Every structure is written in C-alpha cells, then in structure tokens.
C-alpha cells in the first residue's frame, strides 16, 4: 500500500533509497532537460541559479552550454546537495559551482542577480506555488530568463497516467495556461513549449 513516505521521498530524497532515486532521475530526466534547454534562446550567461537541483545532472548540462558561467544550485534534500556536488566536483573545485541546502521559498541570493534561473521537475512540490514563483522570478535580471520544466502537465490524453502520478508522488500539477498567466503577472514574457506526444512542457520567460 502506498503511504505518504513515498510522497516525501520524491519531494525530499533521503538515505539509500533517496540516492538510488536521484541516480535514476539523473538518467531519466536527461532527454527532457536537453529538449528544454534547446528552447532557451540564450547564447551567453554569467550567473545561473538552479532551483531544486536534485542529483546535479542539469547543472552539468548548464556547464556544458555556458562553460564560463558561475552556477548556483539549491535543494531541500541533503542527499541531493551531496550528489549534485559529487556529480559536478570539477567545477565545485574550480569555485564556479556553489550548491547549498536551501528552499525556493527563501532563496539566499539578491534579487535581480541572475541571468538565468531554472526549475526542472520541481515546481509541483513547492509549498506555495504562487509565492514561490514570485521568489524565483525576483532573482532574474531584466532581460534574463527563467525556465520551468515538467515531464507532466494536465492533458486529456494522459489523464489516467497523470492522476496516478499525483496520487503516488503528491504532485501539484497546474494547467499550462495558469502557469503562464502567473509568470506573466511577475513581469515575464512567457513562451509555452509543449510536446503533446510526450506530455512535456517548458515555460521560457524573459524578464521585462
């Protein structure tokens, strides 16, 4: 029988189970992450924040694309922070990558200080989506970008599968139009990129 422990493990991986889950997420979400980053029309970037960095795979991809960027990652899971540091140990040693135990609800960096803020496979666990989006977008410089990505969004074709994911993992899924509307109210010009065959979505916002 499923319990809330399963919800908690996906939201905040802990212990051996958590480490195994993070390793699987690094593999499973790679194609999604590559697809989403291909929608980002940004050629140069000096300072990046990855919210809910998980096992650190996305930070690796960001480093490949923006080789000189200073990258910051935050997560509420100690297991995630430890794994993300190990996966990106080279740039951590260089001093270009900083990964800390922090929450989207209280991001420990100055407002309007990042060229790019990313949040992949994480928004549906945020404690207060509207306020947490406000916190995340507040860190983006004018002309900078935010990218929010999910491999699942409400769609009739995937309703049965998505309802099961909500039940098993405690996801708070929102309609694409609602997510775009919330971001627009936070001074972002938003493009919604959806792959209807895979049920993937990437919201790409540029700060006005």
Query: What pLDDT does 10 receive?
Result: 83
Query: What pLDDT does 111 receive?
Result: 98
pLDDT digits (tens, 9 = 90+) for 144-185: 999 999 999 999 999 999 999 999 889 999 999 999 999 999
Query: What pLDDT does 2 receive?
Result: 35
Q: CATH code at 179?
A: 3.40.50.150
pTM of structure:
0.95
pLDDT digits (tens, 9 = 90+) for 105-150: 999 999 999 999 999 999 999 999 999 999 999 999 999 999 999 9
> Are 109 and 135 in contact, with CB atoms under 8 Å apart?
no
Split into its structural domains, the chain has a count of 1
The per-residue DSSP string of 146-157 comes to EEEEES----GG
Q: In what order do the strands lie in the sheet with 188-195?
A: 97-101, 70-75, 47-51, 114-120, 140-150, 200-207, 188-195
- Domain holding 81, by residue range, is 4-207
Residue 60 pLDDT exceeds 80: yes
Whole-number Å distance between alpha carbons of 41 and 145:
9
């Amino acid at each position: 029988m499923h319990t809330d422990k399963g919800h908690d493990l996906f939201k905040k991986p802990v212990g051996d189970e958590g480490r195994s889950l993070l390793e699987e997420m690094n593999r499973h979400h790679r194609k999604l992450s590559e697809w989403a980053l291909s929608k980002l029309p940004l050629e140069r970037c000096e300072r990046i924040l990855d919210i809910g960095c998980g096992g650190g795979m996305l930070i690796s991809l960001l480093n490949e694309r923006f080789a000189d960027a200073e990258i910051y990652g935050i997560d509420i899971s100690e297991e995630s922070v430890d794994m993300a540091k190990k996966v990106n140990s080279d740039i951590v040693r260089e001093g270009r990558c900083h990964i800390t135990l922090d929450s989207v609800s209280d991001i420990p960096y100055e407002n309007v200080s990042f060229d790019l803020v990313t949040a992949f496979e994480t928004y549906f666990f945020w404690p207060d989506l509207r306020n947490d989006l406000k916190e995340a977008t507040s860190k983006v410089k004018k002309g900078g970008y935010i990218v929010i990505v999910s491999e699942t969004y409400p769609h009739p074709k995937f309703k049965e599968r998505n309802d099961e994911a909500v039940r098993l993992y405690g996801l708070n899924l929102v309609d694409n139009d609602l997510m775009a509307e919330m971001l627009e109210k936070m001074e972002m010009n938003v493009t919604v990129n959806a792959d209807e065959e895979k049920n993937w979505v990437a919201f790409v916002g540029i700060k006005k």
